[in-house]
Chain A
Amino acid sequence: MKKLLILLFCLMPVFAVAGEARDMAADPVLEKRMIGLAEKLRCLVCQNESLASSHAELAEDLRREVREQMQKGLSDDEIVDYLVSRYGDFVLYEPPFKSYTLLLWLGPFALLLIGAGVLVFQLRKRRTVAGDESALTPEAAQRAAALLEEESKS
């Protein structure tokens, strides 16, 4: 009995049909364009999924909205503007370059520059320390010469 149950559960995926493209528009070109745009948009319900891949009901509705606006002849930018005006910049996977996203966009480069600066500074410091050691004062040079002479004598 138990084995039979296990077998039944194993067979279940066979009957489960994936419903990815259930809500297809009649026009495949438009559908492709819609999916292309939806991939750049974020689903608000399941926040780390794109609008194209999400199965949330809201994502389906939003895909329908995008599709209908495309059918009306709106450009991609106009549709994105509409969604941003409703849901905010959050719907965009790529945050726009604005005053309050400056840190986000430029932060990594700033860190890189700071890192490079620190590296250069440290290397210079090390070189000058090393340089100081090699540059002998006249007295030290004299002493060294004297020691070497002594050595050669013995």
Chain B
Amino acid sequence: MMRFLLPLVIFIVLAGFLFVGLGLNPREVPSPLIDKPAPAFTLPQLHQPQKAFSPADMQGKVWLLNVWASWCVSCREEHPVLMALAQQGVVPIYGLNYKDKKADGELWLQRGGDPYVLSAMDEEGRIGIDYGVYGVPETYVIDKQGVIRYKQIGPVTPQNLSEKILPLVAELQKK
């Protein structure tokens, strides 16, 4: 009896691990920046390059930092969701225009609409590295103290918005 039971148990355990593994997304690397202060930067704004934007300006507000680019395919999928969110006016969305040309970025916002309060230009992608960006689009939820509380890797969808991002924003705004 034992002779058959033991291999069977081992097989079931192994199959269980493999099955769970199937559902994991290896592209989602947990960010070590969660619950750490958002890295400081000062970048020119996309629409008004003579003006600068810095996360320090956002102290006291809960806000979203959305990393986007005109060359990013998944951003197209995400864009209508951000437009709808901006219309609701629940939380301000700031853009980080990552490794993009000014003209391309502007054209992209002209065509699809501009959900951002403003976008900062990170043409060389240096701030992206500071934020651990590796797959655009990425969205950070930053609290009133300027601490990163959540990072969405990949597009914001109605689902992850209503399940994760908006409840978190509401909770952070109460604090």
Q: Are A61 and B29 in contact, CB atoms less than 8 angstroms apart?
A: no
Q: Are A61 and B125 in contact, CB atoms less than 8 angstroms apart?
A: yes
Contacts of A87 in B (CB 8 A): 29, 31-32, 132, 134
Distance (whole angstroms) from the CB of A89 to the closest CB of chain B: 8
Q: List 24 A-B contacts (CB under 8 A).
A: A44-B29, A44-B134, A45-B135, A47-B27, A57-B99, A58-B134, A61-B125, A61-B126, A65-B126, A65-B129, A85-B32, A85-B33, A86-B32, A86-B129, A86-B130, A86-B132, A87-B29, A87-B31, A87-B134, A88-B29, A88-B30, A89-B32, A90-B29, A90-B30
Is B21 an interface residue, CB under 8 A from the partner? no
Given A88-B29, A88-B30, A61:B134 Cβ within 8 A: no
CA distance A58 to B129 in the complex (A): 8
Interface residues of B in 17-40 (CB under 8 A from A): 26-27, 29-33
Contacts of B27 in A (CB 8 A): 47
5 shortest A-B CB distances, which residue pairs? A44-B134, A86-B132, A88-B32, A90-B29, A61-B125
Is A24 an interface residue, CB under 8 A from the partner? no
Is B124 an interface residue, CB under 8 A from the partner? yes
Is B131 an interface residue, CB under 8 A from the partner? yes
Distance (whole angstroms) from the CB of A49 to the closest CB of chain B: 13
Contacts of B126 in A (CB 8 A): 61, 65
Is A84 an interface residue, CB under 8 A from the partner? yes
Residues of A bordering B, CB below 8 Å: 44-45, 47, 57-58, 61-62, 65, 84-90
> Which partner residue on chain A sits nearest B99 by CB separation?
A57
CA distance A20 to B77 in the complex (A): 33
> Which partner residue on chain A sits nearest B34 by CB separation?
A88
Other contacts beyond A58-B125, A88-B31: 18, CB < 8 A: A44-B29, A44-B134, A45-B134, A47-B27, A57-B125, A61-B124, A61-B125, A61-B129, A62-B129, A65-B126, A86-B131, A86-B132, A87-B31, A87-B32, A87-B134, A88-B30, A89-B32, A90-B30
Contacts of A57 in B (CB 8 A): 99, 125
Contacts of B131 in A (CB 8 A): 86
Contacts of A45 in B (CB 8 A): 134-135
